């Protein structure tokens, strides 16, 4: 029996890495389970920092896939995938090409604006499954118009499947603590997203590093600062702070799950921290993060701060003070525990192997 073919087309821009990392983790998990019976391919923008490091075969484009309709459609026709995963990406023309070769089409969205793209009328009968990687409390409900379209037309119904969290094993947790000479709950973790965000002419990763220096002096906790793959300067050397360029997804989750507290942006890592029940102070460092962050604040599961070192330090100190700290963690235990990593991995595997499971 010939190998099944799986194609990933994530949003691929120089500024962002979250969608690629989600697709990469899915690909690695599925490859580990299905071993030699699966051929995996990516379509990426060659100008991103990660494109040439992709461990799977990849077609590299001059622009994002969205801007290269014909070349992407030609590749789909040639590769003949069994499943195509569009992660916050994909034009209707791409999806038509996938359906033409008999592929199942998966669309992953992560906020209301991207979700709406999956509900455009030119997607009728093109998307087989639409997963939204947000918990219910963190995304606006469907609008009246969107609900009406779903009632009237054969569009895939968006399903909220929770945050995307590839949980670390006990062994991975032990290894990462030993590697960086840390003890559980004896440190805090800091990450400002991909490392390339600029707000008010300030590099957010550098502001977070300076905040980490102040927090560790104020609290006595060790600091681990992950600058991000898109940080294009030399990583600082410090006796007080462990500075890392980037980490693999499960390594990062292993560190975050054992940290006393996290200082993050309003991106995907925010929901990951909530899922592993690590209290969070977060700043919105891009426009699209404000809504998500506000939803989390309203749910009582994150403390919001402005991009100001003194304010960040004060709020971290507030979070780790009892009884506030224990009450904060108690709120996490009341949340829906659904996590999209398991849902999506199992769903795609079922599409690939069907009744052979």
What is the Cα–Cα distance from 84 to 173, expressed in whole angstroms?
33
The overall average pLDDT reported for the chain is 90
Mean pLDDT of 82-99: 95
Report yes or no: 264 and 284 within 8 Å, Cβ to Cβ.
no
Residue-wise pLDDT for 297-310, tens only, equals 988 889 999 999 99
Q: Among candidates 108, 210, 122, which has minimal Cα distance to 159? A: 108
Alpha carbon distance, N-terminus to C-terminus of the chain: 15
Q: Find the helix or strand (DSSP H, E) in which 253 lies.
A: helix 249-257
- For 23, residues 6+ apart whose C-beta sits below 8 A from its C-beta are 8, 10, 42, 85, 87
Q: Return d(Cα 355, Cα 351) in angstroms, integer.
A: 9
Task: Give tens-digit pLDDT for 36-79.
Answer: 789 999 999 998 888 888 999 999 999 888 889 999 999 999 99
Average pLDDT over residues 204-213: 94
Average pLDDT over residues 140-153: 95
Is residue 353 pLDDT above 90, yes or no?
Answer: no
């Amino acid at each position: 029996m010939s190998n099944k073919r799986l194609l990933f087309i994530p949003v691929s821009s120089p500024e962002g890495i979250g969608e690629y990392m989600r697709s990469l983790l899915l690909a690695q998990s599925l490859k580990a389970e299905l071993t030699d019976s699966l051929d995996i391919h990516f379509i990426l923008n060659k100008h991103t920092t990660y494109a040439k490091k992709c461990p799977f075969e990849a077609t590299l484009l001059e622009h994002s896939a969205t801007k290269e309709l014909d070349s992407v459609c030609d590749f789909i026709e040639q590769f003949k995938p069994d499943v195509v995963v569009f992660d916050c990406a994909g034009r209707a023309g791409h999806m038509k090409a996938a359906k033409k070769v008999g592929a199942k089409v998966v669309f992953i969205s992560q906020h209301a604006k991207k979700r709406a793209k999956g509900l455009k009328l030119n997607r009728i009968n093109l998307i087989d499954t639409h997963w939204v990687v947000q918990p219910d409390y963190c995304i606006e409900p469907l609008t009246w118009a969107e609900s009406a379209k779903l009632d009237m037309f054969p569009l895939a119904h968006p399903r909220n499947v929770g945050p995307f969290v590839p949980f670390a094993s006990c062994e991975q947790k032990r290894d990462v603590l030993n590697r960086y000479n840390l003890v559980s709950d004896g440190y805090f973790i800091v990450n400002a997203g991909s490392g390339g965000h600029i707000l008010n002419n300030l590099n957010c990763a550098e502001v977070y590093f300076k905040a980490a220096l102040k927090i560790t002096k104020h609290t006595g906790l060790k600091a681990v600062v992950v600058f991000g793959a898109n940080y294009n300067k030399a990583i600082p050397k410090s006796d007080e702070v462990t500075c890392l360029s980037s980490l693999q997804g499960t390594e990062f989750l292993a560190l975050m799950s054992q940290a006393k507290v996290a200082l993050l942006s309003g991106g995907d890592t925010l929901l990951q921290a909530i899922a592993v029940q690590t209290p969070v102070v977060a700043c919105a460092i891009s426009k699209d993060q404000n809504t998500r962050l506000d939803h989390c604040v309203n749910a009582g599961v994150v403390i919001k701060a402005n991009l100001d070192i003194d304010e960040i330090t004060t709020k971290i100190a507030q979070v780790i003070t009892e009884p506030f700290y224990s009450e904060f963690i108690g709120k996490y235990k009341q949340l829906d525990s659904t996590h999209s990593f398991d849902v999506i991995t199992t769903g795609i595997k079922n599409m690939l192997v069907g009744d052979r499971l």
